[in-house]
A and B are shown apart, each in its own frame.
Chain A
Amino acid sequence: MSVLLETELLTICFGGLTAVDQCCLSIEEGDLYGLIGPNGAGKTTVFNMLTGVYVPTSGSVKFRGRLISGRSPVEVARLGISRTFQNIRLFDELSVLENAMTGAHQHAKINLFDSLLRTSRHYREERRQRERAYELLQFMGLEERAGLPAKQLPYGHRRRLEIARALATEPRLICLDEPAAGMNTGEKAELSALIRRIRDELGVTVLLIEHDMKLVMGICEKIQVLDYGKTIALGPPKEIQNNPKVIEAYLGGD
């Protein structure tokens, strides 16, 4: 298996605080990779650096062999990394279907005049986006709510819609930031099955941040643990569970 994403000594400081300290990630194609750690450990900040939202203070991010640290979020998205947000960021006034369609926008090969003049290329593009978005809504179990404004979706469905929208960009790597937060046990079980299917059926590599240990241990094959920005453990779930440093971080952190 080839390495899809690699970070080297990735570091970012906010004033005096080193939020992420020399983080090295190595994610292979087809991985289901977990990134865990207590609150404030720097997990979301790692995502922000991977997706171009933050520029690292030092260190680098390589995606498919290409250096991407320092590039804008738009460029990174177009290279094939997509993500969801811990604090959900949907387009509230658009419908559920339209939200998913915005993910497919980046692959549109038409210009404004096609749409203004309603050429056949415009209609073809609309159909492509609608079909792809609808497929992904079906995949995430949201198709019955396709016409609803996103702001009217119940909480658990909002998180799923974010995943559908991210998948519509046709990414190679999807970064999920606490997708199970606020879900009940039943919803969590459905979600972990879906995450596995994202990797197995859609062939998208998954990087997952999640606080629910049962979920992470259940589906991830590799887990990396951050504490105060530093990697304190890396390995398969079994090892992580019994690692004294990890236990200490979680007990001390909470």
Chain B
Amino acid sequence: MHRTLALLVVGVSLAFGVDWFLGEFIEEYVVRIINLCGIAIILAVSLNVINGLCGQFSLGHAGFMAIGAYVSAYFTTTLRVLNTETGETIVRAPLFDGAWGFVPALLVGGAAAAAAGLIVGVPTLRLKGDYLAIATLGFGEIVIILLTNFDSVGAARGLPGLPNYASSFWILTFAWICVVGSVFLQRSTFGRALIAIRENELAAEVMGIRVARLKVMAFIYGAFFAGIAGGLLGHLLRTISPSTFGFMKSIEVVVMLVLGGLGSLTGAIVGAIVLTVLPEALRDVEQQAKLPGIRMVVYALVLILMMIFRPQGIFGQRELSLKLLRRVLPARLRGGDSETKP
């Protein structure tokens, strides 16, 4: 508990320091990419709990994001609501006003997404592999269709005018909370139970591990942070529409995981950063080489080569740690300490 509080204080101070540094010294375009990286990390790390640890192949992350984004925006944004009886448009002031309303709004968004996680998790318990992927994909599409038909949140046009509350400070703070929480989850009796389910479901059941309950728990946990990430993204982009959260968004997060190594938390972080920075870096290349469109070609090539030469992802299921570094580095750099126990 003390350690958790200390870690929270460290995270918040770090986020505060970095936020100040970025604002002072770094150009806006780069800051934006860093913010997007932070959000991507939350998405990838939380999906890793469902897909990587528990081995449940979910493609519904964008749906949870959409719920988080719209619900939090509902509380922070000035809405124009059409009164269907009188036909006049009413302007409704934000329910949670000011920057301090942002965190409660995000949390409500996360909670709504978590509730959706429960609703998706329970009926899909019996599904595995492709079937689960298709069911969760369907969930994402249902969310999009509902939003497209909801006039008070702008329907297909989307919802403009979200306040710019998603500062680097909040993004980094939540990324930190998500990462620390996921490390704590992974290294606990619940994390081991999730991995046991992934490795051999029957053996897990015979050990008395409540498989159904834990699978739903993984869904709820993943969905909560996807909802938070959605809220942050919404307040960063400042306009959200159903198409922002289409199924390509879910695929993107899955690709981050697969690139980093499904089941590896550090892999998820690296995958999130690479796949956020790479398209932007390639954009520069594209402009200089005067080859419009080459960006997506290179992007796809990188992924294809990766799947051919390293299908288990950069890290496999391992974690990036000092121990791993020591093993990978050439012996002469290591010195003679390779035999000593950690």
User: A101 to B207, alpha carbons, bound, how many Å?
Assistant: 10
Stretch from B57-65, B108-116, B118-126, B198-206 contacting the other chain:
B198-206
Does chain A have a CB within 8 A of B45? no
Residues on B facing A (Cβ under 8 Å): 1, 3-4, 181, 184-185, 188-193, 195-196, 198-200, 202-211, 217, 221, 263, 317
* Contact status B208-A129, CB under 8 Å: no
The 10 closest A-B pairs by CB, nearest first: A106-B208, A77-B208, A115-B188, A89-B203, A91-B199, A73-B205, A89-B200, A78-B208, A102-B196, A118-B4
Q: Is A120 an interface residue (CB 8 A)?
A: yes
Q: Which of A83, A94, A112, A116 contacts B195 (CB 8 A)?
A: A94
Q: Are B204 and A102 in contact, with the CB atoms below 8 A?
A: yes
Which of A82, A93, A108 contacts B189, CB < 8 Å? A108
* B342 smallest CB distance to A (angstroms): 9
Contact B203 A91 (CB under 8 A): yes
B207 adjacent to A106 (CB under 8 Å) = yes
Please determine whether B184 and A118 come into contact, CB atoms closer than 8 angstroms. Answer: yes
Residues of A within 8 A of B208 (CB): 74, 77-78, 105-106, 169
User: How far, in Å, is B164 (CB) from chain A's closest CB?
Assistant: 30
Q: How many CB-defined contacts (below 8 Å) exist between A and B?
A: 96
- Asked if B263 and A93 make an inter-chain contact with CB atoms under 8 angstroms apart, the answer reads yes
Query: Which single residue of chain B is at the shortest CB-CB distance from A112?
Result: B190
Known: A73-B205, A83-B206, A91-B199. A101 touches B192 (CB 8 A): yes
Contact partner, A116, options B185, B200, B203, B263, Cβ 8 Å: B185
Question: How distant is the Cα of A83 from the Cα of B205 in the complex, in angstroms?
Answer: 11
A92 interfacial by beta-carbon distance below 8 Å: yes
By a CB distance below 8 angstroms, the chain A residues around B206 are 51, 53, 73, 77, 82-83
A72 and B202 CA atoms in complex are apart in Å by 11
Q: In chain A, what residue has the closest Cβ to B199?
A: A91
Nearest-neighbor residue (CB-CB) of A118 within chain B: B4
Q: Tell me the minimal C-beta distance from A124 to chain B in angstroms.
A: 11
Instruction: Looking at the assembled complex, report how far the CB atom of B224 sits from the nearest CB atom of chain A, in whole angstroms.
Output: 11
Binding site for B on A (CB under 8 A): 51, 53, 72-74, 77-78, 82-83, 85, 89-94, 98, 101-103, 105-106, 108, 110, 112, 115-120, 122, 125-126, 129, 165-166, 169
Contact B184 A74 (CB under 8 A): no
- Other A-B contacts than A74-B209, A93-B199, 10 sampled, CB-CB below 8 A, are A77-B206, A82-B206, A91-B204, A101-B189, A102-B192, A106-B207, A112-B190, A115-B191, A126-B188, A166-B207
Pairs A–B under 8 Å by Cβ, sample size 27? A51-B206, A74-B209, A77-B205, A82-B207, A85-B203, A89-B200, A89-B202, A90-B199, A91-B195, A91-B196, A92-B199, A93-B195, A93-B199, A93-B317, A101-B189, A102-B196, A102-B207, A103-B207, A105-B196, A112-B185, A112-B190, A112-B217, A116-B185, A118-B184, A122-B188, A165-B207, A166-B207
A72 and B190 in contact, given A93-B317, A120-B1 (Cβ under 8 angstroms):
no
CB distance from B114 to the nearest CB of A (A): 12
Q: A169 to B193: give the CA distance in the assembly, Å.
A: 13
Cross-chain contact B207 with A77 (CB below 8 angstroms) = yes
